[in-house]
Amino acid sequence: MRKATNITSIVMILGYLAFLAIGWKTFPNEVPTHFSAIGVADSYGDKTSLFIEPAVMNGLFLLLAIVEHFPKIWNIPIEVIEDNEEEVLKTCYIMFGILKISIVLICAFSGFMCIYEDFPSWPMIMMIVIILFTIAISVFRIYKCKLD
């Protein structure tokens, strides 16, 4: 699972970078750099600001990928014992995988919204909901391990 989510995330990051490289000359020189809560652009900047999204997606992906390799530093809300260790770690790995992919998608959608002002904002809202839902379900499953 970890290998699959890492590969998927890396392919999406490389795909977004390829999209920027291929389309660079066609992008407007001035792009939105900030959006209001309803998805309307309210600040503009140079198109080089489009490199913020890949920098953020790479940074967050690497941070999660590194932290994922050190389970001893995770702040798990229950005591991990031999009886529940496998299920707790499995739940955490699934959570990490979904978070990595979701964060990469949020950054990519953010970039698309900057390039195409009429790009819908609902995919970003959906990804944020998925992240919050993933965390909530993961915490619930971990607490369930304590009760079993």
Give the per-residue pLDDT at 41.
Answer: 81
For residue 45, the cross-strand partners are 31
Q: Report yes or no: 96 and 9 within 8 Å, Cβ to Cβ.
A: no
What is the distance between the alpha carbons of residues 10 and 48, in angstroms, rounded to a whole number?
Answer: 22
> Would you tell me how many other CB atoms lie within 10 Å of the CB of residue 140?
10
Q: Report yes or no: 101 and 9 within 8 Å, Cβ to Cβ.
A: yes
> Would you tell me how many other CB atoms lie within 10 Å of the CB of residue 79?
9
Given a cut of 70, whether residue 143 has pLDDT beyond it is: yes
Give the per-residue pLDDT at 128.
Answer: 86
Look at residue 110 and tell me if it is in a domain: yes
User: Residues 124-143: what's their mean pLDDT?
Assistant: 89
Look at residue 125 and tell me if it is in a domain: yes
Look at residue 127 and tell me if it is in a domain: yes
What are the tens digits of pLDDT across the range 77-114?
Answer: 888 888 888 899 999 999 999 999 999 998 888 888 88
What is the distance between the alpha carbons of residues 43 and 30, in angstroms, rounded to a whole number?
Answer: 10
What are the tens digits of pLDDT across the range 17-45?
Answer: 999 999 999 999 998 888 777 777 888 89
Domain hosting 54: range is 2-27+42-147
Look at residue 37 and tell me if it is in a domain: no
Look at residue 32 and tell me if it is in a domain: no
Count of domains observed in the chain: 1
pTM: 0.82
Q: Report yes or no: 111 and 20 within 8 Å, Cβ to Cβ.
A: yes
Given a cut of 90, whether residue 125 has pLDDT beyond it is: no
Look at residue 61 and tell me if it is in a domain: yes
* DSSP, residue by residue, 10-43: HHHHHHHHHHHHHHGGGS-SEEEEEE-TTS-EEE
Look at residue 97 and tell me if it is in a domain: yes
Look at residue 33 and tell me if it is in a domain: no
